Structures are given as C-alpha cells and as structure tokens.
Chains A and B, each alone.
Chain A
C-alpha cells in the first residue's frame, strides 16, 4: 500500500516530477556518455599498444634495452618458451630480433629499428597485419620473398615513398567524394602536379582554398592524391654480428597505418630469416620474446608469475614499458570517479530539493496521516519510496538514453578529424568509439539508487518531525 501511495504521490505534481526526472536523465546521460567518450580514446590507445605495438609482455636479456647489442641473445630458448606457454593466461608467444639501422631513399634517411619477425606466426598473435593500407602490398600474406619490409605510413611519408599526385585518378576520386565542384575547380590548376610531401600539398591548398574549405575538404584531397609506388625500395644500413658495416635494399610490401606516429616512424618489420642471413645471426636466436595474454586484466598477475619463473631475464609488461599509458588509464579512472561524484551530487540535490518541497506542501496531509495512526516507520518509508522512485526513473532513463546513444555512436564512431593532427601524433585515434564497461553500468545503476535513498533521508526525517496537532491546527 505504501508503495502504491508513494507511486501516486510522485505523479501528483506531474510537471515538477517530470522536470526533476528530465534533469536527472540529462545529467546521468551526459555523465555516462562523456565518460564513454573519454574512455573510448583510452581503450583504443591501450588496445593498439597491446595488439600492435608492444604486446602484453616482453622478455629480453637484462641489459638489452640499453645496449641493443646485436649479439645479446636470450639463452635457453626451449625451456623459456615452455615456461612462458605453460603460465596460465598466456595465449601465445613468439621471438623477434631487433637491429638498429639507418633507412634511406634517394631523398632522405632516418634511423629505425629493424624488427625481424615470423609474419606467419605474428599474423595470428597480433593485429598489426590488419593495419595495412589496402593496395600497398601483402607482407603478412606471404609476400616475404627476399628482402621485403613492412613500414609505417609516417615513415613512408618521411622518406618520400608516399607522395601526393594530383593526377587524373586523384581528380576522379575527388569528384566521386563530396567535395563540391567549385572547390575541385580551384584545384584544377594543380592537375598533373606531383607533391613530394603532405606538407607541400598542404601549403598549396592553404593558398587556394578558403579557411573553411580547407578545414572541411583537405582530408579528402589528401586521401585522393595519396599515392605510393608499388615496390618502392629502401636501403637499410646496419652493423652485422661481426661488427662490419653492411646494408641491403628492401622492397616495400605493405604500409601500415596506426594512430601512433612515433611507432610508425621507428619500427620496420622484415622477415626473420632474411634479417638473420644479412646480419649473420644464427637462425633460432632471439633478442626478445613477446607474449600475448588471453585478457588484458590479468597482465599484472601473469607478469609476476613469468618474472618469478625467469629471474635472470628482464620481464616487462606494457604498463612498465609505457608507464605514461598505464598512468593515463589510472588517472582516467579517477576522472571518471570524479565525474560520477559530481553527477550524483547534483542528483542528490535535485532529489532533496524536490522532496523537501513535496513534504512541506503536504504538511497537513502528513499530520493527518500521523493523527489517524500511520506510524513513523510507514511515513518515513512512504517519503523514501517516493524519492527512490524519482531517482530510479531519472537515473535509469538517463542510462537508457546513454546506452542507446553509445550504441549508435559506437557503431560509426565520432569523428574528430578536425583535431586529428595533434591527437594522432601522440597515438590517439581520431575516430572515437564510445565504450563503457557493463560493470560500470551496473555500478552506476546501484549508485544512483543509493544516492536516491541517501538523499531522501533528510526530507523523510523532516516529515517525521511534523507534529500532527500543529500541522492540523494550521488549517483554520
């Protein structure tokens, strides 16, 4: 009965209740959604760090990281692999050799890390192969005959392997895109021109296009003009096992695009066998073992176990290799908590305010109820139930709206292309796919209800303090 009366009381002042509920809906939705958006960039960043760049755990000799000594191989590989693979939570592991090199083309050169991998094996463990820009080669599909290399787009641009051709094909692509005809006409003067770098094309575009046009369409112009000569070559020079300067020409059979420019410029992947024979490394030796785990959440535990099993080696997980990333994840947790506290506090004030009003304007009625024998417990319960109804309706509808919008936006992502340069340079995706942990949702739901309960205590106590005689005397 109490529940029924409380429910009806909620709808006594429909407008007021709906306003409170709407305010709570918006508040909860805004909070949950902004957390989901913030979370998405962190989750994506960690995802690519783990899946493409670092893997979960890396193992190498204790001083390899600082010396990069080409002869510093991990000993006793058979027992080591057995120990790693039998650790619970380790999905798979593979070895790499890493050689410092200088990459040069006819125009430029830059220092890189040559990573010798077994493409067939790594294809199953990591998703780096999926990051290939379509049409740039098949490094992970077996195009590894002789000297082939898989390089990042950023490096390709730096070495002028990727260029920007305003050829007929580019103009065809542009007219198929949603670039307006008048913008294309302005670009007509560049037909047939080849730009060696994005920077040069960008400078020209800035000259001929208005600020707004540039902002809106430059991305599409770049991708239309993007061109790469299949089979372009890079010369890598490095020091071999014996300490002799040596080098070789590599054919590019794949350009990958990630969100991390640093990683794209510094890492070049080449077939393990080729790198062994070029450097004179005895096949079967590795500088580093990388292991993939079944779940990111168990990283700390598995790291401890592997480290205990391999005391003579350096065992580091991605959080230790990239402490900034781990710190960011922790920091974001605190930001989320702060966000939630703010939302819940606003929610609490809304409920306290509304319920206090409801109690005060019903003074006589509550006095009457107490007079005819409704006991304190029941009056208290009635007011509490009213508040809980309000907060639950508001909170849950906010979460539903949030969930729906997160579901919709996470399908297509939220494009932040206008801010892309700054974000990609430090490894963040420009396309955000809001994600939220189901556990977070459950916790939020519980917290909202708890907030509703806690914030109704004060108005409910206020109702108890009413003296029925005085409340009723007011009636004259």
Chain B
C-alpha cells in the first residue's frame, strides 16, 4: 500500500520579480518502508517538495495524498493536527526545544497526543536506546553534540509512528563520522520499525546508502532509481 502519492504537483512562487516554479509537475509514490533520498543541485526544489509533502506549504496545483488524506482538502488548523499525527520532521537544525531534556524532547509529540505517562516513558527509553543515547536522556540539547541532537530529533520524529519521516538535509551540519552514525540509526529504525524515510541531501556518502534515489532538476524529476 502506498503511504504517499504525489500527482502532477506544481509550486510557483509569485512573490519574486519573476515567478519561480520551484516544483514543476512532480508525480511520485512511496510505499511503506522506503528509504529514499531526494537529490539535486541547489535550488532544484528539494526543500520545496518536502515542505509540500509534509503539509507545511500548499501546492499551486496537483494533489498530495497521505494515508488517504487529500492535503488540499484540509483546513490550516487541520493541517497542523495532520502533521502531528502523520508526519515526522527532522530539520537541518533547530530541531529541539532548548529548555527540555533529550527525553522530554522525544516525548514531546507523544505528550501533544496525550499518551499516558507510563507508555510514554517506555517508548522514550526504547528510542533513547535505539539512537544510542540511553545515558543522555537528562541532557539538555545544548549539552549534546550536533550529531546527538539530530539523533534525538529522529527519535522524536518517529516516536508516535507517523506515516513517514521527512528529513531536509539532516546531515548538512554534521561531520562524516556523525553522518555515518546517524545513517546507521536511520537504517536500523527503517528496518526494525518499518519506518519510511524521505530525506534530501547534497552528500554523496548519504546518497550511496539510500535504496531509492530521486533526482530533481529545476523542479522536475529527472531520474528515479531503486536499488
């Protein structure tokens, strides 16, 4: 079953002097458990596409369907709840709430979803373990390295088992060792939890580890290969 379908999606920005079509007729579908990289030169529309998929931005034309929800039919307030329920986000930086500990950050969305405390704690501990931070649960983000922060962000994103996780250049600020560790963890979670990952990247080391590579150029899909 497809967790995500993108049909003939366009996104044009009119707020600049010349209109920019950042996403230009993209059609894609994703199955459960994919580990897909979106690549392409700077300005090719990767971020824009991920934002559209995640319901952070509305397409100018076309249809995006996540787990049976047509995003165009959702009102803005419903979109926020939709994101909380169905999409996990990992950003390049500023992922975590600085005043909360790693555990509390991981528990944040479970908290928004009113999980009971014991269930929440169990899941948090399990995830801290999976991302290799079992002993850092009480650390504040400022006390963690960039790579560790990204691991916490991944753990938070998948805590409530969303449809898929969108990660826009999650390794852009990391050194190669941290990048490898993060990817190890993402792969493991992809396998163990059958979680779908869609991430954009510039980094060839990251691209190499993807099982599906979608290449964008000027907002168009120029290649889509599976390995």
Contacts and interface: CB of A to CB of B under 8 A. Distances in A.
B99 A370 contact: no
Nearest to A10: B99
- Chain A interface size, as a band, is 20 to 34
Given A368-B89, A371-B83, A372-B157, 4 more contacts: A365-B94, A378-B112, A469-B51, A469-B56
Interface string A355-399: 000000000110111111111101000000000000000000000
Contacts of A373: 80-81, 83-85, 109, 112
A475 B83 contact: no
B89 A375 contact: no
Interface string B79-106: 0110111000101111101111000000
A378 B93 CA distance: 22
Listed from nearest, the 5 A-B pairs whose CB atoms lie closest are A373-B84, A8-B99, A364-B94, A373-B83, A375-B80
A439 interface: no
A473 B168 CA distance: 11
Contacts of A5: 97, 99-100
Contacts of B84: 372-375
A258 to B, nearest CB: 61
A5 B105 CA distance: 11
Contacts of A372: 83-84, 89, 108-109, 156-157
A475 B99 CA distance: 19
A301 interface: no
A8 B93 contact: no
Contacts of A411: none
Interface residues of B, number: 27
7 contacts: A368-B89, A370-B80, A371-B91, A372-B109, A373-B81, A375-B80, A378-B112
A376 B100 contact: no
Contacts of B95: 368
A15 interface: no
A468 interface: yes
A368 B91 contact: yes
A266 to B, nearest CB: 70
Contacts of B80: 370, 373-376
B77 interface: yes
B57 interface: yes
B111 interface: yes
Contacts of B54: 371
Contacts of B111: 1
A475 B93 CA distance: 7
Contacts of A371: 54, 56, 83, 89, 91
Interface string A462-476: 000000110011010
A475 B77 contact: no
A475 B92 contact: yes
A304 interface: no
A374 B85 CA distance: 11
Given A1-B111, A371-B89, A469 B57 contact: yes
Contacts of A368: 89, 91, 94-95
A372 B98 CA distance: 15
B98 A475 contact: no
